[in-house]
Amino acid sequence: MATLSVIRRWALREQLSIREIARRTGLSRNTIRKYLRAGEAEPHYAKRVSPSKLDPFASKLLGWLKTEAGRSRKQRRTVKQMYVDLQALGYDGSYNRVAAFARLWHEQRLVAQQTTGRGTFVPLAFGPGEAFQFDWSEDWAVLAGVRTKLQVAHFKLSHSRAFYLRAYPLQTHEMLFDAHNHAFAVLGGVPCRGIYDNMRTAVDRVRRGKERDVNARFAAMVSHFLFEAEFCNPASGWEKGQVEKNVRDARHRLWQVVPPFPSLPELNAWLQERCVALWHEIEHGKLPGSVADVWAQEKATLMPMPRPFDGFVEHTKRVSPTCLVHFERNRYSVPAPYANRPVSLRVYADRLVVAAEGQIVCEHQRLIERNHHGAGQTVYDWRHYLAVLQRKPGALRNGAPFLELPPAFKRLQATLLKQTGGDREMVEVLALVLHHDEQAVLAAVELALESGAASKTHILNVLHRLLDGKPAPAPVTSPQALKLAVEPQANVLRYDQLREVRYAS
């Protein structure tokens, strides 16, 4: 190219003859005339064509590549499988040549897609309070000394770009509802629209275009918070690109520096604190000021936060003869009157509530285990078995639910079971918690143990004094030896006097 530039400059600017230019460059005069006649600023060379053993099979391979591109990812043939099929047709070349052909075709196809609209995008702009975007991600943190995989809910206001993160063990309905309750409380209100992908906790079926069969419980949450749910086209993450970028940024800003925590609530408290702090540190980019500055202006346009959505998922369960309901390989106790009967199990993000006959029966802290090989755990509440214990007092000795009795009851049990009928008396003391405050009963038991008179009667007396607010009676003090004021005398004459009076009468 440099030689062509020199030839053109000598001939057109300095008006040198072709003979002189040929002498200086060493090129033939015909070559110089050809360059000048073409009038081009850079030389063009014929494309080198090298024969290949793949040439007879190129059309066949091209057809295969087009066909496989239209199939799903799991059903596509690999390039190595196509190479084996070409060998069956008589191809005796190398695999590298087939792989290079396929690689070039994929590159050309990608360029064609980018220039026909699929790779081009339109910038989006959102007004204050108009929309928020939601997405899930998977991240890791150390909880109670164990590296744990977490499902993280991401919320981002589309105008101010204020974001909120909350971590959960699972991506289930109750976790999704709980995340919305916390997010709207932190963000200061509810926008007009929510933009989601087609997650299974929200969409039961994707239909043509924007039509969706929305999950009933998700629709109830949307109706509660009074916003419009909008779903992206399948495999079109750029339609909620702000929260997609937030997922990537959060891994650098938060998850790479997250410290270990004893439990998940402490981690979520730290995430909330760090998100709000980052609002003040990150510049908005399109509007003057930080994210926090723009959010302070957008907050006034958000709908005020209503009461939290009662985001439970309901299951119908039958209580076992041992007064247990099963959920996620774990077992939870239910009051004995509901044994062998159907109940409603309401599953929340952090707790389980059992309801029957229109009222709440009991509540347990939810256990979530990621290990699917264990036998699960059993959560007992010994109060649920008191009705059975009154009919079967002997079960008190080895009953599994009564291994978790408070220490005062444990000491009382060790004392009473040494006596005849002590097991039934212990059951009657435990049954007091059904009618009185448990802490008051425990206080009465401790006072009775301190006095050395551990019996049901004494515990009842102490309990009634505690409930009535009467102080304990003053202790009775007596000397070591009693002394009579009038000493008795042995006088038989008094007996004779009584006989005389009797005879006279």
Q: Under a CB-based contact definition with an 8 Å cutoff, are residues 290 and 151 in contact?
A: no
- For residue 238, the tally of other CB atoms under 10 A from its CB is 12
- For residue 59, the tally of other CB atoms under 10 A from its CB is 9
Predicted pLDDT at 473: 63
Predicted pLDDT at 44: 60
Structure-derived torsion over alpha carbons of residues 323, 326, 327, 328, reported in degrees to the nearest 10: 140
- Reported as a single tens digit per residue, the pLDDT across 404-416 is 899 999 999 888 8
Assigned token pair, 156: 């981002």
Q: How large is the greatest C-alpha to C-alpha distance in the chain, in angstroms?
A: 188
Predicted pLDDT at 140: 93
Distance CA 54, CA 90 (A): 10
Q: Give strand ranges (E) for 236-390.
A: 313-318, 324-327, 330-333, 342-347, 351-356, 359-365, 378-379
Predicted pLDDT at 1: 54
Distance CA 212, CA 218 (A): 12
Contacts with 377 (C-beta within 8 Å, 6 or more apart), sequence order? 330, 331, 367, 369
- Reported as a single tens digit per residue, the pLDDT across 43-80 is 566 667 778 888 899 999 999 999 988 887 767 888 98
Predicted pLDDT at 136: 96
What is the separation, in whole angstroms, between the first and last Cα of the chain? 165
Distance CA 454, CA 463 (A): 13
Q: How does pLDDT run along the chain (505 residues), one tens digit per residue?
A: 577 778 878 887 888 888 888 888 888 888 888 877 776 555 566 667 778 888 899 999 999 999 988 887 767 888 988 999 999 999 999 999 999 999 999 998 888 776 655 556 778 889 999 999 999 999 999 999 999 999 999 999 999 999 999 999 999 999 999 999 999 999 999 999 999 999 999 999 999 888 999 999 999 999 999 999 999 998 887 889 999 999 999 988 999 889 999 999 999 999 999 999 999 999 998 999 999 999 999 999 999 999 999 999 999 999 999 999 999 999 999 999 999 999 999 999 999 999 999 899 999 999 998 776 778 899 999 999 999 998 888 888 888 999 889 999 999 988 888 888 888 989 999 999 988 888 999 999 998 888 887 888 888 888 888 888 766 666 666 666 667 777 777 777 777 777 777 776 5
Q: Under a CB-based contact definition with an 8 Å cutoff, are residues 17 and 33 in contact?
A: no
Predicted pLDDT at 275: 97
- Reported as a single tens digit per residue, the pLDDT across 363-374 is 999 999 877 677
Task: Report the candidate in 468, 405, 469, 467 with the shortest Cα–Cα distance to residue 436.
Answer: 467
Q: How far is CA 238 from CA 60, 119, 198, 253, in A?
A: 36, 11, 13, 22
Predicted pLDDT at 366: 95
